[in-house]
Structure 1
Amino acid sequence: MAQEPMKVVATTGMIADAARQVGGDQVKVKGLMGPGVDPHAYRQTRSDIVAMTRADLVLWHGLYLEAQMEDFFHDLERKRNVVAVADGLPRDVLRGHDSYADKFDPHVWMTPVLWKQMVRQVQKALTDTRPESAEFFAANADAHLADLDRLIAYGTETLASVPVSNKVLVTAHDAFGYFGRDFGFEVLGIQGISTQSEAGLNRISELVDMLADRKISAVFVESSVSDRSIRALIEGAASKGHEVKIGGELFSDAMGADGTYEGTYLGMLDHNMTTIAGALGAEVPERGMDGKLSAGF
């Protein structure tokens, strides 16, 4: 008799996608945070609590991403099978946090180089929960990692063709540090690593001056963060006689709509890489790495 699928609950869409990729038909995954949801500010709902207490495995990100839920998870792990996936990453690959000396930048999904290690952590959590399916999980993980290697190769080639003077990525909050580190971009966020940090007038003024002085022509909005501060940058630059456009909307802390290519990790990063490269002066494939992106460039 075939086993029932494991009930897995994951906080972010990115971790939910990794669990589906590795778990295949052995898992039934519920993601708590859908498109456009900001994990920095998210609080568990009553239905979330019910789902997690009934799950065979609960996967949360860690690294202070789900700051409002940390106490809940630490309490839950004393009673249930709970894994903070990013806590398994070696500390020497992580960026320091801008506001907390003992914390790290949680946005490790922004580069598939690091995300490969997260997939292995998800594989381990699934295998520890259902050891008899270890070979099945390993084969699925290997196949997904091969796709991530293709994504790395695509991103490396596409982003390398952005003119050096244009390799400045200005976004609503500092979510793209790992992306910048791996692909050679200077990254400037209006807010800090957490969207809970304040975007001060001084910071906006500094960035307006920088945009005008360096003739940067494009900035980016994020799907899970208000565009108010980005629009303030554009208006400020215009007051100095410098035109700045919105280069596109990037997926930062949440993926695209469920059931779409952008609603997968591969699609999320393909969209970001293609959007950034295209807006900053590179020639890009009209619909990304595999021709699957919803919008053309």
Structure 2
Amino acid sequence: MNTKQIFIFLFALSVLSCKNETASKNERVQVVTTTSMITDLVKNVGGDLIDVQGLMGAGVDPHLYKASAGDVTKLANADIIFYNGLHLEGKLVEVFEKMESATKTQVALGEQLDATTLIGSDYFASNYDPHVWFNIQYFKEFVEVVVSTLSRKLPQHADQFKANGDAYIAQLTTLEKEVEEIIETLPEEKRILVTAHDAFNYFGKSYGFNVVGLQGLSTATEAGVKDVQRLSQFIIDNDVKAIFVESSVPRRTIEALQAAVKAKDRDVIIGGSLYSDALGDAGTIEGTYIGMFRYNVNTIVNSLK
């Protein structure tokens, strides 16, 4: 065997070795998720039976998110893609469409819900408010869809996915009861939630809050001077004690609103920062859906009392 033949053999051997190593690493189902809320849910259901890669981390605004080259690679290599849908990830829709194939499963969780129960919206092509995770019952339905999808992909582990899903739903039921008890301590006339954008309408519908967002449903729209003046007067007229910034939206719009109220010789405090379109930092309590929801409710209620 001459030198050239040896080189070709070694090269082929190395390629085969790499392929075998890749196959070994990829025995588990490769799942890609978009928002951090969905990432947390899928990890709770899939456990160590799947590999999950989330595209959006803490503080990331899904309305404005654009896929990087690395994201496209992750999506291309995925067996399953779970995303919110209802045009929340508007700038990723075209990427998802190009990724469609017979071997890849794509699930828009929000689009599995009963559309007749959703809140209408003129801001999105779907004509529905996409912030559906703020209805815990909807999030439970997401769990069922994820369990079903993973079970079809890995039928040998269907019982484990079902057990994981049931356990997580039990935690969500406990969260529901806790949230209701906390909110009951806030008088109904004080349940006015003013935030940077209208991410909390499903929350408001569930718990009797009048929700007003400065930017509307999408952060892609800018709040104008008239919006600030209109809302500042609303705050004064309704004696609103606190307004809220959001972790995924710049503070400046709410700070401008606070200044507008002050210019009219009234005061309103910034009650804290709420998690709206993304969870908190990974590894923190607020980095989980349940921790985020509990934190938001306590922050809102304590500030508005």
Is the shorter-chain TM-score for this pair beyond 0.5, marking a shared fold? yes
Question: Which ranges in structure 1 are unaligned for 5 or more consecutive residues?
Answer: 282-297
Q: 1:50 to 1:115 in 2, by over 3 A?
A: same
The SS at the match of 2:88 is: coil
Identity %, equivalent residues:
42
Say if 2:213 is the partner of 1:161.
no
2:293 pairs with 1:265: no
Alignment RMSD (CA, Å): 1.7
Q: Secondary structure at the match of 2:214?
A: strand
Aligned length: 281
Query: How far apart, in 2, do the equivalents of 1:32 and 1:99 lie?
Result: 24
Q: Is 1:246–2:262 an aligned residue pair?
A: no
1:42 is the counterpart of 2:61: no
Q: Which residue of 1 aligns with 2:247?
A: 223
Bigger shift: residues 221-230 or 110-119: 110-119
Q: Given that residues 86 and 124 in structure 2 are in contact (C-alpha distance below 8 angstroms), is that contact kept between their aligned partners in structure 1?
A: no
Instruction: Provide the C-alpha distance between the structure 2 equivalents of 1:71 and 1:103, rounded to a whole number of angstroms.
Output: 18
Q: Report the TM-score when normalising by structure 1.
A: 0.91
- What amino acid does structure 1 have at the position aligned with 2:236? A
Residue 99 of structure 1 deviates from its aligned partner by: 2.7
Amino acid at match of 2:194: V
Partner of 2:129: 105
Give a deviation string over 1:163-210, Cα, whole Å, max 9, x none. 222100000000000000001100000011111112122111111001
Task: Give the aligned partner of residue 120 of structure 2.
Answer: 96
CA distance in 1, matches of 2:42, 2:157: 14
8 Å CA contact 1:215, 1:242 repeated in 2: no
What secondary structure, in the 3-state scheme, does the structure 2 residue paired with 1:191 have? Answer: coil
* Pairwise CA distance, 1:101: 7.0
Matches within 5 A, 1:183-194: 183-194=207-218
Offset of residue 81 of structure 1: 2.1
Unaligned runs of 5+ in 2: 1-23
Q: Mark the CA change 1:75 to 1:126 in structure 2 (over 3 Å): closer, same or farther.
A: same
CA distance in 2, matches of 1:250, 1:12: 16
Alpha-carbon distance between aligned partners in 1 of 2:97 and 2:151, rounded to the nearest angstrom: 22
Does the 8 Å CA contact 1:10/1:31 hold for their aligned counterparts?
Answer: yes
Helix, strand or coil at the partner of 1:199? coil
Verify the 8 A CA contact 1:8 1:30 in the aligned structure 2: yes
1:208 is matched with which residue? 232
Partner of 1:262, secondary structure, is helix
CA distance in 1, matches of 2:201, 2:168: 24
Task: Determine the C-alpha separation between the residues in 2 that align with 1:277 and 1:216.
Answer: 12
| Aligned residue in 1 for 2:13 | none
Greater helix fraction, Structure 1 or Structure 2: 2
Of the three residues 89, 92, 105, the one matched with 1:81 is 105
- The residue type equivalent to 2:88 in the other structure is L
Q: What is residue 64 of structure 1 aligned with on the other side? A: 87
Are 2:40 and 1:23 equivalent residues in the alignment?
A: no
